[in-house]
Structure 1
Amino acid sequence: MTLFRHPCKALRQAILIPILCGLMQFADAASVTRPEQLIDATRDFLEQEVANYLQRSQIQARHEIEVNRLDPRLRLASCDLPLQAKLESPMQPVGRTTVRVSCTGAAPWSVFVPSQVHLFREVVVARRPLARDKIIDEADVTLAERDVSSLNQGYFTAFDQVLGNKVSRSALPDQVLPPTYISAAEIIRKGDQVVISAKNSTINVRMPGEALTDGALGTQIRIKNQRSGRTIKARVIGPGQVEVAM
C-alpha cells in the first residue's frame, strides 16, 4: 500500500527544519563565549595599558598590538558579567605578553591569551662602519625607527648620549648602538701633565702632576705628584684636571 504525503505538510517541514537548526545554532552560540570576544577583550585591555604606560613614562612612540589566534573549538560558558582582563606577564605591556581574561559571573572561568606589543621609537644607529675605539661624532650616527620591544640589550634615543664617547665594539651601518657598545672616552692620557686639586670646605690646594694611566671623566687614575714624587689616586674631573679628597 502506498502512503500519500500531503504536499503542504512536506513543504512546511522543508521550511521548518532549517529554521529550527538555525535557532539551535543561535542558542548554542549565545550560551558560549566565542574566541573573538576573548581577542577583542585582550586588544581593548592592551590598548589602554599601552596608553597608560606611555603617559607614565613620558615616551613618544607608536605601537602595534598583535593578539595570537585562539583555537576556534574553544568553548567557554557565556559570561553574565563584563569580561575582566589582567596583565599576567611581564610587568610592562611591551614585547611578548600574556593577558588573563576572566569571567567572574555565575559560571567563572579564566583563559590566558598570548599577545605581543610592538613599540616603535627613534633610536641611535650607526650611519657608517664604526671601528673599535672610534670616538663618536655627529657624522657617525643617525636616528632610525626600530621596534624597541625586541632590543634586549637596550638603546639610546638622543645623540648627546653617545657623542664624544667611544665605540667599545665595532658596528655596521644601520646597526642599533646599545649601551654595551659605548664607553666613556679617555680625556686624560698616560704621560699627560695635569693639575691636582685637593680641597675641603676650608682649603683648596693645587699642584702639578703626571698621569700614569689613561682616564675617562669620573674615573680614578694613578697620578704622580711632581712636587713630592708620591703616587696617588685621583678622580678625573675634566681635561687635564684631577681631584683628590682631603
Structure 2
Amino acid sequence: MTMQMLCLKNADTQRLKRWGMALAACVLSHAQLGFAADSASMDSGFEALQKQAQQWASSHPSFRGKQVQVAPVDPRITVQNCQQNLQFEHPFPNQPAVRVRCAQPAWQLFVNLTAGPTPSRDTTSGQALHRVLVSKELLKRGTVISPSMFSYAEMPAAGMENQIISDANLLKNMELVRDLTPNTPLRSYDVKTAVLVKRGQEVLVTAGEGQGFSITMRAEALQDGGLGEQIRLKNSESGRSLYGVITGPNAAKVK
C-alpha cells in the first residue's frame, strides 16, 4: 500500500511538472503576444496617418499619380490614434511638408511626403522597376544632402516600394539619419528634416502675408525645428511667446 501511494505521488509530481511547464509556456506565450500587441498599437497611429495621407494625396494636384510615403517623424513624437478622419493641408506648394490635424484628441503635426512616379516593369522578369535615387559615394550620418550627391537608377524594389525616394526635389533641407554606402537606394527612413532653426537663435518672423499687409519682427527660437515645423518663439521686443512655422534657415511665419 505504501509503495502504491509513493508511485501515485511520483506520477502526480511528473504530471504537475509537465503542467507547470505547459503553464509557464502559455504564460510566456501570452506575454509575448501582449508585447507584440503593444508594439502594434504603438505603430497603429502612424500607420493610420500613412494610409489616410496616401488617400488624400491621390486626389491632390501636387501628388496625384505618384506613389506617396510619409517620411518618418521625429522618434520623440508619438503619433496618437485619431478618433475621426485626419485633416490634411499643403501650405507650402513647392515643399513636401503637409499639415495633419486631428480633432479628437486635438493635435496637429507637420510631416513630409515623399513621392515617386508609377513604376515600370522589367520585360523579362516581370518585376516592377522603380526609378530611385542612389548615392554616388559614402555619405555619413548627419550629412545635409543635396541632389548632386545622388544619381538615378532603375531597379526592383520588392518590399520597399513605399519607402524609396525618387524625386530629387524632396532632398532639399533633409539630412541623413544613418550612413549610406555608394549605389544604395535612398529610402524615406534614411532621412529626416534638417534643423534650420536652433534653440536660442534669432529668427526673422513675418506675419500677415496674403492678408493685405506684412509685418516683420525678430524673435528668439525656444526650440529646434525643420522646414514646415511649428515651433515656439519669443518676441525679442515685447517678450511675448508665439508660434511660427519655419519657412527657411532662421526664418518663420505666423498666420
* Structure with greater proportional strand content: 1
TM-score by length of 2: 0.48
TM-score by length of 1: 0.49
